[in-house]
Every structure is written in structure tokens, then in C-alpha cells.
């Protein structure tokens, strides 16, 4: 019988920050990959709303729904024995109305079994963060390039390069921590700013395109596995070329079927 594995919790992450042990987070959207990632030792599985892009093929993260996030969240939760599972709150489920935000967060926790939720933004969402946290639900924040605001930004450029936006980010980070967020994703901001925020915050920061000084790192699974060759930002390190592996395997399968080489009699029943 397999032994019980100790689950990564918000407390584990706080302890990791304290002892300067980097946190490894990756996105996951389905049972099969999540099981592999969990076995590989990933600390946090983020059911990102990037599912809207890499799973559903939308151009942005905006169209994905709460029901769809719950569906992906449940699949990942069923696979994760050790990793903490964080589910993104989709666009429209938390902005503007903190009661609606709490309702959406409760649905994610009850229906997917996730261990925490993540939402994007600073001061404008602090009331929602406070309300969700006060219901006992851990919240991860997300600042810098927040993809749900892509039409406001007008592109995927590095954020907070100019002093006013950097100053706002510093302030938003403090506000989120004060509202009870347990961790903060910093996306596509200058490394020195990410370092400063990381050192000034009591909670762990997890960077994507934010340099080496964050308390942890996150990448989108399909990008780091080389499944998505069109996306090549500077911050992306590819750990595999699965697009080639998958295409070669499928091309060989097509040939075998067409040539009646598959299945053989050994692969058939009498």
C-alpha cells in the first residue's frame, strides 16, 4: 500500500519562503498531466485560465467560464496527491461585486475540491480578496501583466517599466498581502522590481517573466513542454519538444493504418 503523502499547503509555502527554498508551480488542466506533474514534485498546480488559450484555442483568457474552470479544476484535484491546487477565477466572476466574487470562489472550492483560488488585479479587487479570505478561502494574487486586462493594456509588453506603474504595483502588492492573500504571481515585470517586491512582502512571490529573484517560478505547461511553438517570449525555457514527438508518432500511426500494418494479428483477438 502506498504511504500517505504530506500535502503542500499555504503554510508550507510560507515556510519555503522563510527558508529560501524555491517554489515550483506549473499550470495543469487535466487529470493525466496533473498526475505526472504531481509525481515530478511540482509544489503548486495552477489550473490557469490560460486553459482558454491552450485547451480551448481562444485568443485570450476572457471567454472561459466559471463552469469550465470548475471542470478543469476537478480533473486536476483528482490527480494531485501532494501538490496544492489553485484554480483561477475567470474574467467576470470577481470584478466589481465582492459578494459575487465570494459566491464564485465558494463554487470553485465546493465543486472542484481546489485548495485555493487566484485572481488578477490590485486595489480594485482588494475588497473581493478580503471577503473571500474572510470565508476561509486562500487567495493568490496576480500583478504585472494580467492577461484578463489585455484589451486595456493593448498588448503583451513588459509591464511596470515606468515609475508610476512600478509604484502602483508596489502599492498593490502591499494591499493584497494586507488583505490576506497568501501568495502573489508577478508576470512579465522587470527583474529588479520583482526582487524589491519579493523582499518587501511577507508572502511568497511566484514569477513568470519576472526574473530569478522571486520566491518561486511558474510556466504554462504547454509552452514549457514545447507543445506550442508559436509562442516564444524571452522568459520561456522549453524543457521538451513534445510537438515534434506527438506529430512524429501520429504520422507513423497514419502510415501504419493506411498500409494495413496496424493492427497486426498479434494485436488482434482470436
Tell me which residues are annotated as active site. Answer: 187
Complex with ligand KIV: residue 74 or 147, whichever CB lies closer: 147
Shortest distance, CB of residue 113 to ligand KIV, whole angstroms? 19
| Contact positions vs ligand KIV (CB under 6 A) | 27, 46, 48-50, 88, 142, 185, 187, 208, 218, 220
In angstroms and rounded to an integer, the radius of gyration of the C-alpha atoms of the chain is 20
User: Cβ closer to ligand KIV: 72 or 255?
Assistant: 72
Nearer to ligand KIV among residue 6 and residue 234 (C-beta):
234
Q: Are strands 216-219 and 205-208 parallel, antiparallel or unpaired?
A: parallel
Extended strands (E) in 17-113: 23-27, 44-47, 84-88
Q: Measured between alpha carbons, how far is 131 from 117 in angstroms, rounded to an integer? A: 13
Contact by Cβ (8 Å): 181, 143 = no
Query: Which lies closer to ligand KIV via its Cβ, residue 201 or residue 219?
Result: 219
CB of residue 142 vs ligand KIV: minimum separation in angstroms? 6
- Which is closer to ligand KIV, CB of 5 or CB of 40? 40
Q: How far apart are CA 130 and CA 128, in angstroms?
A: 5
Q: From the CB of residue 5, how many other CB atoms can be counted at a distance below 10 Å?
A: 11
Dihedral angle, C-alpha 192, 196, 201, 206, nearest 10 °: 10
- 3-state secondary structure at position 240: coil
Least distance to ligand KIV, CB of residue 146, Å: 8
CB of 159 to ligand KIV, least distance (A): 13
Q: Which residue is nearest to ligand KIV (CB)?
A: 48
Query: At its nearest, how many Å lie between ligand KIV and the CB of residue 53?
Result: 8
Query: Quick one: 116 or 220, whose CB is closer to ligand KIV?
Result: 220
Report which of 227, 179, 174, 218 is spatially closest to residue 54, judged by C-alpha positions.
Answer: 227
- 123-127's contacts with Cβ under 8 Å and 24+ in sequence apart are 123/171, 123/172, 123/175, 124/95, 125/94, 125/95, 125/101, 126/175, 126/176, 126/179, 127/98
Shortest distance (Å) from residue 47 CB to ligand KIV: 8
Q: 8 and 203 in contact (C-beta within 8 Å)?
A: no
Amino acid at each position: 500500500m502506498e504511504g500517505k503523502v504530506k500535502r503542500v499547503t499555504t503554510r508550507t509555502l510560507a515556510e519555503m519562503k522563510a527558508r529560501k527554498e524555491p517554489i515550483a508551480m506549473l499550470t495543469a488542466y487535466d487529470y493525466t498531466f496533473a498526475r505526472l506533474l504531481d509525481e515530478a514534485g511540482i509544489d503548486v498546480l495552477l489550473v490557469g485560465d490560460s486553459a482558454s488559450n491552450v485547451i480551448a484555442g481562444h485568443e485570450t483568457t476572457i471567454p472561459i467560464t466559471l463552469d469550465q474552470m470548475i471542470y478543469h479544476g476537478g480533473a486536476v484535484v483528482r490527480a494531485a496527491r501532494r501538490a496544492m491546487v489553485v484554480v483561477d477565477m475567470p474574467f467576470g466572476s470577481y470584478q466589481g461585486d465582492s459578494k459575487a466574487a465570494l459566491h464564485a470562489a465558494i463554487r470553485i472550492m465546493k465543486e472542484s475540491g481546489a485548495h485555493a483560488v487566484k485572481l488578477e488585479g490590485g486595489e480594485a479587487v482588494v475588497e473581493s480578496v478580503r471577503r473571500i479570505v474572510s470565508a476561509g478561502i486562500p487567495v493568490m494574487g496576480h500583478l504585472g501583466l494580467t492577461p484578463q486586462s489585455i484589451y486595456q493594456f493593448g498588448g503583451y509588453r513588459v509591464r511596470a517599466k515606468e515609475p508610476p506603474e512600478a509604484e502602483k504595483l508596489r502599492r498593490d502588492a502591499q494591499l493584497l498581502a494586507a488583505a490576506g492573500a497568501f501568495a502573489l504571481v508577478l508576470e512579465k515585470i522587470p527583474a529588479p522590481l520583482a526582487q524589491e517586491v519579493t523582499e518587501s512582502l511577507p508572502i511568497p512571490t511566484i514569477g513568470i517573466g519576472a526574473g530569478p529573484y522571486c520566491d518561486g517560478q511558474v510556466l504554462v505547461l504547454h509552452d514549457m513542454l514545447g507543445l506550442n511553438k508559436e509562442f516564444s517570449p524571452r522568459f520561456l525555457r522549453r524543457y521538451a519538444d513534445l510537438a515534434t514527438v506527438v506529430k512524429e508518432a501520429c504520422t507513423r500511426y497514419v502510415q501504419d493504418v493506411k498500409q494495413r500494418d496496424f493492427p497486426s494479428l498479434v494485436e488482434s483477438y482470436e
